[in-house]
Structure 1
Amino acid sequence: MSFSWKILAASAAVAALLSGCSSVSLDESAKDGTLAGQTAGSQTQAVNPFADPNNPLSKRSVYFSFDSYEVEAQYMPAVEAHARWLAAHPNVNIIIQGNTDERGGREYNLALGQKRSEAVKQRLQLLGIPAERIEAVSFGREKPVAYGHSEEAWAQNRRADIVYPTEVTSGKAAQ
């Protein structure tokens, strides 16, 4: 019997200690039982738009057809969303990194990657973003995201990536 009393006493002591660690405080003036700082309605948390897959800002790659640097219509909603965000955050600059698949010579791919990054930059400029806020660079075939020697892998590597400073992608953008 004494063993079960020890377990019961220890359990009660642990429960008392843990209840004292609660960081939720009740608002004494609240008459409806809500917690301090809450409203009766539901609360929403701010979601980082760059991490939300339902937000066009999370789409930061523009893909290209073989041997092309034309921005296709299907990627314009994402480019337009980035232009709106950049217009609302005038202190943020971006880098556009042009990439190619592994086919073709090194110099050719560097030039094609540059044309791809410049094409996205030009679209952003047409949407009102000043050229000095956009750096266009080329990695050619040097930074693939997909490895392999198939059309599927090559298609994933024919892209221009819109890259923001670390503060932006972590949700700490300068206002």
Structure 2
Amino acid sequence: MQLKPYARTLAVALSLAFVAGCSSSGGTQDGSMDGSRTGGAAGSGVAGSGQVSGSDMGNGSGQQADGRIPEQRTIYFEFDSDRIRSEFEPVLASHARYLRSNGNARVVLQGHTDERGTREYNMGLSERRARSVERFLSVQGVSPSQVEVVSYGEERPAARGQNEEAYAQNRRVVFAY
């Protein structure tokens, strides 16, 4: 039966079309979650509602002027979601530009979740998050040989705690060059 390869191809094509059709409208370049540049505690940078905001875009492009690796290397996700948030698309686009212009560069996309859910579910969710970033980069022209996906689930939290502030910081994909 030859239907399975076609279904897989169709699913990949639809995913890529969806990612390509997303619009960009915000984000930060400095790695902070709310646009404030703080070198302080892990709990800083989360809005009072526990939502990650991205109101300070700097120059609006997210691209390093001198060809260096982009400064912001973490993007964040909503609860139980692998959908790339529009405020992080400029960050992903800057990483894509860097990778396209540096063909020998390699990146590991490290997927993470908060502690809610089973270990098995969180491993799958963190992989889906990293794969959605991988698809975005692919649509932007990054070679698949430059990208590796690793799923950590809930095993490497960025912030300790059982509150929305900690959970929001743990739902992430990290670019490791």
TM bucket, shorter chain: 0.5 to 0.7
Percent identity of the aligned residues? 40
The count of residues paired between Structure 1 and Structure 2 equals: 115
1:67 and 2:87 are equivalent in the alignment: no
User: Is the counterpart of residue 126 in structure 1 residue 143 in structure 2?
Assistant: no
Q: 2:99 touches 2:146 (CA, 8 Å); kept in 1?
A: no
- The equivalent position to 1:97 in structure 2, one of 90, 110, 115, is 110
Cα pair distance change 1:85/1:96, threshold 3 Å = same
Runs of 5+ consecutive residues of structure 1 not aligned to the other structure: 1-48, 165-175
Structure with larger Rg: 1
Q: Which runs of 5+ in 2 are unaligned?
A: 1-28, 32-36, 38-57, 63-69
What is aligned with 1:29? none
Deviations 1:30-84 (A, max 9, x none): xxxxxxxxxxxxxxxxxxx999x76831111110000000001100000000111
Q: Which one has the bigger helix percentage?
A: 1
- Taking only aligned residues, the RMSD between alpha carbons, in angstroms, comes to 1.9
Q: Give the 3-state SS of the residue equivalent to 2:96 in structure 1.
A: helix
Map residues 1-175 of structure 1 onto 2, 5 A cutoff.
56=62, 57-164=70-177
Give the ranges of 4+ consecutive aligned residues of structure 1 lying more than 3 Å apart after TM superposition.
53-56
**Worse overlay, 130-139 or 149-158:** 130-139
Provide the C-alpha distance between the structure 2 equivalents of 1:161 and 1:101, rounded to a whole number of angstroms.
14
2:66 is matched with none
Aligned equivalents of 1:92, 1:58: Cα separation in 2: 15
Decide whether aligned partners of structure 1 residues 127 and 113 sit closer, same or farther in structure 2, where only a CA change above 3 A counts.
Answer: same
